[in-house]
Amino acid sequence: MSFPEPIVLGVDEAGRGPAIGPLIIAGVAVPESVLVKFENLGIRDSKRLSPKRREQLYDALQQLNAKIYIRELTATKIDLTLKDTQDNLNLLEIRVMADIINEAMPTIAYIDAISKPAYSERHLDPLLSSPKPRLVVENKADDNYAVVGAASIIAKVLRDQNITALQEAHRHLGDFGSGYPADPKTQRFLERNVDTIRRYQLPFVRMEWECTKRILRRKRQTLI
């Protein structure tokens, strides 16, 4: 008797830390026999690859026998979560990851941990539908498992595309760079557009992010 080939899922995210733009969570599910093709492509954590190489691997992944699952958490959604005293970004991400796992119905799911692996697994397991997959939840899973590296590449490329589209749509406000708080372009953008951000609550700016609130507070103090 032959049995169905195990389905392996990798889940990772891109854009957790920025003050601008969405957080993208991606899942990549493949039959176990396809994993060797991922490894042969040299897939690894997207942060360890150049933008050009990420794009090349993103295109290559589209050609393989893989199912791709995408969830976008907008800045507005993140703000609403952070305003809820009973919720936080970790739990939001875990709920979204559980949603991807339940849709993919893998045999085994490799997850890049949110915070500590035990924390992620403890909150993730009750959200999973039966039959539950075997969970492997680790920090740096995107480096250790090619299928998680593939998910990190998908998430990163899609976030970069989103940021490019936002830049084009709002270029009259200036260049906001990568959207990460440590980026000087992002800092200058927030500082120069404080009035616009406060008045219109631009939907791509995370208003509840500490760096955003700090800049708004500093600007308000200079006006007193």
Q: Domains for the chain: give ranges and CATH numbers.
A: 7-166 (3.30.420.10), 172-219 (1.10.10.460)
- Residue 3 pLDDT greater than 70, yes or no: no
Contact 95, 122 (CB under 8 A): no
Question: In whole angstroms, what is the distance from residue 25 CA to residue 16 CA?
Answer: 9
Distance from chain centroid for Cα 210: 19
Query: Which amino acid is present at 80?
Result: L
Tell me, what DSSP letter sits at residue 108? E
pTM: 0.91
Predicted pLDDT at 2: 47
> Tokens 């169905």 appear where?
4
What are 162-195's pLDDT values in tens digits? 999 999 999 999 999 999 999 999 999 998 998 8
Residue 48: strand, helix, or coil:
helix
Predicted pLDDT at 218: 75
What are the two backbone dihedrals, phi and then psi, of residue 176, each rounded to the nearest 5 degrees?
A: -100, 15
Contact 103, 1 (CB under 8 A): no
pLDDT over 70 for what percent of the chain? 96
Which has the closest alpha carbon to 106: 40, 198, 34, 173?
Answer: 34
- Residue 65 pLDDT greater than 80, yes or no: no
Query: Which amino acid is present at 203?
Result: P
Question: In whole angstroms, what is the distance from residue 50 CA to residue 47 CA?
Answer: 8
Contact 170, 200 (CB under 8 A): no
Predicted pLDDT at 26: 98
Mean residue pLDDT across the chain: 90
Residue 42: Cβ within 10 Å count = 12
Contact 208, 78 (CB under 8 A): yes
Predicted pLDDT at 78: 96
Question: In whole angstroms, what is the distance from residue 186 CA to residue 205 CA?
Answer: 11
Which has the closest alpha carbon to 16: 109, 115, 85, 100?
Answer: 115
- Rg (C-alpha) for the chain, rounded Å, is 19
Tally helices (H) and strands (E) across the chain: 10, 5
Question: In whole angstroms, what is the distance from residue 55 CA to residue 61 CA?
Answer: 10
Which of 39-43, 83-87, 108-112 shows the lowest per-residue confidence on average (mean pLDDT)?
Answer: 39-43
Residue 129: strand, helix, or coil:
coil
